[in-house]
Amino acid sequence: MLPDCLYILNIPAIMSDILLKVNELRAGIDGKEILKGINLEIHPGEVHAIMGPNGSGKSTLSGVLAGNPAYTVTGGSAEFHGLDLLALSPEDRSHEGLFLSFQYPVEIPGVSMVNFMRAAVNAKRKYFNEEPLSASEFLKLMREKRAVVELDNKLASRSVNEGFSGGEKKRNEIFQMAVLEPRLSILDETDSGLDIDALRVVAGGVNKLKTDRNATIVITHYQRLLDYIKPDFVHVLYKGRIVRTGGPELALELEEKGYDWIKREIDGE
């Protein structure tokens, strides 16, 4: 038994050890419920993979966590390092360290990558009452972070994602992640549309950014990406619920046997 005072000291330590705690989260779109009670707990330093068949709610989960106004939360809670995540605006979620790598990064004609990133970086600095970066500081930061994913300098002068290839778009997502240094990154189908070389570069970027203080959620259909980004936990999402949780071996099992056996087990229950 520890003395009482140590218990008290321990409490905040334990609390801050949970980066994200999702409790019975329910959400939908246009009145149709898609997430039907999600429970998830993520600690710093962990990599969680969320797998599941088409239509199981994977992208809805990432959208709801990032605050996409297209979705409506109908129940449950999500706590992000002690904050009520669902009460925050999308921009404040970003400032607090949540990053969503989009499955389909949006093209924004007329907004240059440089202006876009400057606005993002300085908005975050403003949130923490810091002065905006000077032009030279900002360019130095861009140079450093581009190296993480070998992003071509030429892309930086173009409009956001406009005319980028599939691989360039995903690299650009990881570049933005490198710049914003999130505490929790959600990679939504980052492997889709990537050839094997691009996949290696993107996964390499993610691994370079991994520390024992941040965490990653990898949403994917396929085991392939998990060869490059090694998960600590694998969750299977089906019909809006996490129906299985296991170690990396679960992903291998899914790769071998498909989702049907899980569907049968769950639907048979």
Partner 1 sequence: MSSIDQYTALYSENACAFDAHSAGKLNTMRKHALESLKGASLPTKRTEGYERTSLEDMYAPDFGLNPSRINMPVDLAATFRCAVPHMSTLLGVTVNDVFHPVGSLEQRLPEGVTFMSLSKAAAEKPEVIEKYYGSIAPTENAAVALNTLLTQDGVLIHVDRGTHPGKPLQLVNILSSTVPLMAPRRVLVVVEEDAELQLLVCDHTNDNSQSYLTSQVTEIVAGRNSRVDICDIEESSARTSRHNMLYVRQSEGSSLNHTTVTLTCGVTRNDYHIDLTGDHCDTRLSGMAIGSAGMHIDNHTDIRHLSAHCKSDQLFKYVLDDNASGAFDGRILVTGDAPFTEAYQSNKNILASQEARMHSKPVLEIYNDEVKCSHGATTGQLDSKALFYMQARGIPLEEARTLLMQAFMSDVIDRVSVDGLRDRLRHLTERRFNNYRQGDAANEQCGDCPASTSND
Which of 67, 76, 205, 231: binder of partner 1 (CB under 8 A)?
A: 67
127 binds partner 1 (CB under 8 A): yes
Distance between CA 3 and CA 163 in Å, rounded?
63
108 binds partner 1 (CB under 8 A): yes
Question: Shortest Cβ distance from residue 63 to partner 1 (Å)?
Answer: 9
Which DSSP string do the residues of 47-101 spell out, in sequence order?
EEEEE--TTSSHHHHHHHHHT-TTSEEEEEEEEETTEEGGGS-HHHHHHTTEEEE
100 binds partner 1 (CB under 8 A): yes
Which of 80, 102, 233, 238: binder of partner 1 (CB under 8 A)?
A: 102
Binders of partner 1 in range 172-231 (CB under 8 A): 176, 180
Tokens describing residue 142: 């861009």
HSE-CB for 160 with a 13 A CA cutoff: 18
Question: Shortest Cβ distance from residue 191 to partner 1 (Å)?
Answer: 20
Cβ-contact 239, 56 below 8 angstroms: yes
C-alpha dihedral sign at 246, 249, 251, 257: negative
Which of 159, 228, 243, 263: binder of partner 1 (CB under 8 A)?
A: 159
Question: Shortest Cβ distance from residue 70 to partner 1 (Å)?
Answer: 8
What contacts 203, CB < 8 A, 6 or more positions away?
A: 225, 228, 229
68 binds partner 1 (CB under 8 A): yes
Residues binding partner 1 (CB under 8 A): 66-70, 89-91, 93-95, 99-100, 102, 105-111, 115-116, 119-120, 123-124, 127, 159, 176, 180
